[in-house]
Amino acid sequence: MKSGPRSDARAPRNGVPLEQLRPLWSAGLVLTLVLLPLCLWREDMIFELNFLTGMLIWGLLALSLDLVWGYGGMISLGQGVFFGAGGYAMAWFLTGGITHRVGRAPDPELLAPLFGLGVGIALAVVLALGIAFLCFRSRVGGLFFAIVTLALAVTAKLLVITWRPVTGGDNGIINIPRLFRVDPEPELSQYFIVLAAVLAAYWICRRLVASHFGRVLTAIRENELRASSIGFNVNLAKTLIFGVAAAIAALAGALFAPYNGNVNPIHIGFETGAIVLIWVAIGGRGFLLGAFIGTFLVQYVRFYMTDIIAPFMSVTTANSVWPLIFGFVFLGVILLYPDGMMGLVHRIGAWRVPLPESLRRALARANGADALPRPRAVEGARTPPSGSAP
Amino acid sequence: MIGAILEARALTKRFGGLVAVDDVDLLVNRNTVHSLIGPNGAGKTTVFNLLCGLMASDGGTVTFEGRDIGVLPFHRITLEGIGRSFQRTQVFPDLTTFENVRVAAQTRQPRRLSPFRVPRGSDPGSDTAYRALEIVGLADRATERADILSHGEQRALDVAIALATQPRLLLLDEPTSGLSVGEVANMTDLVNRLRSELAMTVLLVEHNVNLVMNISDVITVLHQGRVLEEGSPDAIRGSRAVAEAYLGTDA
């Protein structure tokens, strides 16, 4: 009956992995995102607040790529096109695109944003479904699919530059008004509109990847031939998720246009589609949350490092150095840490913390809906037989 | 039940000028173990791929339980009741062993592609999945990731994935390739149990002649894309044509 370190290691480990506290984590994160701006709000913090708003919008775009890449297993360089479709449509309606042609404005406070959002999402989804249908019908997959989406991005940018009457050509659409202006704090109201949209989209994606459809998608990412051989229409599933992701990217674009005040061809082109790839890779693909972590990290580092290196080089030089740096980081992450920052998050999530029994039971209940179904008999098989204890 | 479960007539497949499968007739009877053997390049795997719709044939028909399945796309064949394993192991490496079979069992569940339905431990599919793991002897590995399983275990998982789709006909493409002696014995036992306990029909492509002779009811020998000989293991063992095909005319 000695209790040395050896027998300690064999004893069933007490405590709950941090990962299982997910309901608490989620609630805490949401509360922070809601309360922090409210509590700390001061006039001179507009810049920080807008930075956060921007992160949420870009994170939403990254989320759309994570669905396609992290779950569908397709590399898309064209998420910027869907983002741009949402952005341009919203910008067009908010700047009175209808007014010029019909002569009578729809209620600019309510109807214009709804029209902008609806048309933008519809445009993006139709485009995405069309491209995916054509690609998968002619068995274009893998790297070739990435090239097709790259071509799409280049074409879309050219189209936008050429179609001046609607898109404003090279200058894009400028002076886009804010959404639902609630004075005297338009920045704050904008932040909460964006936050609500992001939380809703994130929740939908969470449900989606846990669902039957999401499980099939994950199987397709893992092994397309096998997924098809157990009876699932691989092309249909891939086409559908590409459409869903396009809708989310368009939503991000529609939020971005009034936030940024202008949209221009850069937002629709390859530049946007490529940088998102880096965010998702660094955050970790296939986790949803990683998309936001990667976006935040890269943008934050880039922004504050610019201050630090500013004395040593001009802004123009700094701007051309960043893609180089992030390109190398991208390569490093892909080759060495395919799980990105989420790998780290999960390692921390495996740490165990002691919890009172009542709280533990409540957690088990809250986790129940989300937890991976485990065969009961297996759980039994893993507990050591009672007779073997000394 | 006696009678044919699968019937292929005049199956033909050409790759450019090469006729890989040439006018092959194949009749698989219900609740039997039927083996396809033949020297390398005889067209065994190609026949398999034609039967399960992975390749489009250049001629001939395939009938499963009286229905023409030759025109169906690959993924529909599984729903008709044909499961298959692959010569090169095909599993989902990043998922747990259990999820590997659970997602396969999902194919028989209501709303199998629904974005609103979340799989639960109480689903019938979870039971099917767990039973498939038990049959191949992987139940105690259920929570491990598939890519840390040994080669032999992954071969077994490949079969379990096919089983979880609840097939009536199972196509096994060289299930023992790369297995140790002990693992081959397990696989032999597994194929026997599939027929005797689960009343399944098994069509087998196999190189291990001892195994084929032990467990087959009927053996079809393919040579250069054609059916050379068909019969019971004893008849095949005594066939002069088969010996010549394998060893050359001087044998």
| % of chain A surpassing 70 pLDDT | 85
Residue A36: the pLDDT is 87
C-alpha distances in angstroms, A148 versus A74, A155, B145, B219? 12, 10, 34, 48
**Which chain B residues touch A381 with a CB distance below 8 Å?**
139-140
- Give the chain A residue whose CA is nearest to the CA of B141: A378
Q: Across the interface, do A222 and B164 touch by the CB < 8 Å criterion? A: no
C-alpha distances in angstroms, A89 versus A191, A268, A388? 21, 12, 69
Would you say residue A363 lies in a domain?
Answer: no
Q: Across the interface, do A375 and B121 touch by the CB < 8 Å criterion? A: yes
Q: Of A192, A166, A197, A172, nearest to A181 (Cα)? A: A192
Residue A38: what residue type?
A: L
Angle between helices A340-349 and A270-283 (to 10 degrees): 20
**Distance (Å) from the alpha carbon of B139 to chain A's nearest alpha carbon:** 7
Residue B2: the pLDDT is 58
Q: Does B48 touch chain A (CB under 8 A)?
A: no
CA-angle at B25, arms to B24 and B30, nearest 5°: 135
Residue A104: the pLDDT is 53
Lowest mean pLDDT among A30-39, A183-192, A285-294, A364-373: A364-373
**Distance (Å) from the alpha carbon of B249 to chain A's nearest alpha carbon:** 40
Partner residue opposite A216 with nearest CB, options B103, B142, B165? B103
Residue B103: the pLDDT is 95
Residue A385: the pLDDT is 33
Does this model's pTM top 0.90?
no
Q: What is the mean pLDDT of residues B166-186?
A: 92
Q: Does B3 touch chain A (CB under 8 A)?
A: no
Q: Provide the domain count of chain A.
A: 1
Q: Is the pLDDT of residue B164 over 70?
A: yes
Q: Is the pLDDT of residue A376 over 90?
A: no
Q: Is the pLDDT of residue B182 over 70?
A: yes
Specify whether the backbone of B59 is left (phi greater than 0), alpha (psi in -120 to 50) or beta.
left
Per-residue confidence band for A388, with pLDDT thresholds at 50, 70 and 90: very low
For A94, phi and psi rounded to 5 degrees? -70, -30
Q: Across the interface, do B112 and A212 touch by the CB < 8 Å criterion? A: yes
Q: What is the mean pLDDT of residues B180-187?
A: 92
- Give the chain B residue whose CA is nearest to the CA of A374: B121
Give dist(CA B175, CA B154) in Å, integer. 10
Give dist(CA A206, CA A110) in Å, integer. 29
How confident is the prediction for chain A on average, in pLDDT?
A: 82
Strand ranges of the sheet holding B18-29, from the earlier edge strand across to the other edge: B18-29, B4-15, B59-64, B67-68
Q: What is the mean pLDDT of residues A205-223?
A: 95
Residue B208: the pLDDT is 84
Residue A8: the pLDDT is 39
Beta-carbon contacts of B56 under 8 Å, excluding residues fewer than 6 positions away, are none
Question: Is ipTM over 0.85?
Answer: yes
Would you say residue A33 lies in a domain?
Answer: yes
Residue A263: the pLDDT is 92
Would you say residue A181 lies in a domain?
Answer: yes
Q: Does B5 touch chain A (CB under 8 A)?
A: no
Q: How many CB atoms neighbour CB A45 within 10 A?
A: 14
A62-87 pLDDT, tens digit per residue, is 999 999 999 999 999 999 999 999 99
Give dist(CA A234, CA A236) in Å, integer. 5
Partner residue opposite A226 with nearest CB, options B92, B112, B119? B92
Alpha helical stretches, state H, A103-233? 111-137, 142-162, 164-167, 186-210, 212-222, 224-229
Would you say residue A359 lies in a domain?
Answer: no
Q: What is the mean pLDDT of residues A194-205?
A: 96
For B224, phi and psi rounded to 5 degrees? 50, 45
- Give the chain B residue whose CA is nearest to the CA of A227: B104
Per-residue confidence band for B190, with pLDDT thresholds at 50, 70 and 90: very high
Lowest mean pLDDT among A133-142, B130-139, B217-226: A133-142
Q: Is the pLDDT of residue A382 over 60?
A: no
Residue B92 Cα to chain centre, angstroms = 18
Would you say residue A228 lies in a domain?
Answer: yes
**Is B119 within 8 Å of B98 (Cβ atoms)?**
no
B33-48 pLDDT, tens digit per residue, is 999 998 888 888 899 8
The separation between the first and the last C-alpha atoms of chain A, rounded to the nearest angstrom, is: 7
Give dist(CA B132, CA B111) in Å, integer. 21
Which H or E run includes B13? strand B4-15
Q: Is the pLDDT of residue A7 over 50?
A: no
**Distance (Å) from the alpha carbon of A69 to chain B's nearest alpha carbon:** 15
Q: Of B161, B144, B94, B119, nearest to A215 (Cα)? A: B119
Q: Is the pLDDT of residue A379 over 60?
A: no
Residue A373: the pLDDT is 40
Q: What is the mean pLDDT of residues A127-133?
A: 95
**Distance (Å) from the alpha carbon of B71 to chain A's nearest alpha carbon:** 15
B74-119 pLDDT, tens digit per residue, is 999 999 999 999 989 999 999 999 999 999 999 999 899 999 998 8
A237-288 pLDDT, tens digit per residue, is 999 999 999 999 999 999 999 999 999 998 898 888 888 999 999 999 999 9
Tokens of B137: 């002897």
Find residues 90-149 of chain B whose CB sits inside 8 Å of chain A.
90-96, 98-99, 102-104, 106-107, 109, 111-123, 126, 129-130, 133, 139-140, 142-143
Q: Please count the residues of chain A.
A: 390
For A38, phi and psi rounded to 5 degrees? -70, -45
Q: Is the pLDDT of residue A144 over 50?
A: yes
Rg of chain A over all Cα atoms, to the nearest angstrom? 24
Determine how β-strand B18-29 pairs with β-strand B201-205: unpaired
Give dist(CA A347, CA A19) in Å, integer. 9
A-interface mutation test, from B113, B138, B165, most A Cβ less than 10 A away: B113
Q: Does B171 touch chain A (CB under 8 A)?
A: no
**Is A211 within 8 Å of B115 (Cβ atoms)?**
yes
Lowest mean pLDDT among A339-348, A360-369, B239-248: A360-369
Would you say residue A186 lies in a domain?
Answer: yes
B212-229 pLDDT, tens digit per residue, is 998 999 999 999 889 998
Would you say residue A56 lies in a domain?
Answer: yes
Q: Please count the residues of chain B.
A: 251
How many CA atoms lie within 13 Å of A370's alpha carbon, on the beta-carbon side? Answer: 15
Per-residue confidence band for A369, with pLDDT thresholds at 50, 70 and 90: very low
B3-20 pLDDT, tens digit per residue, is 789 999 999 999 988 889
Could you tell me the residue range of the domain that residue A96 belongs to? 16-351
As beta bridge partners, residue B220 has B36, B230
**Distance (Å) from the alpha carbon of A139 to chain B's nearest alpha carbon:** 14
Q: Is the pLDDT of residue A375 over 50?
A: no
Partner residue opposite B113 with nearest CB, options A210, A213, A225? A213
Q: Is the pLDDT of residue A162 over 80?
A: yes
Would you say residue A11 lies in a domain?
Answer: no
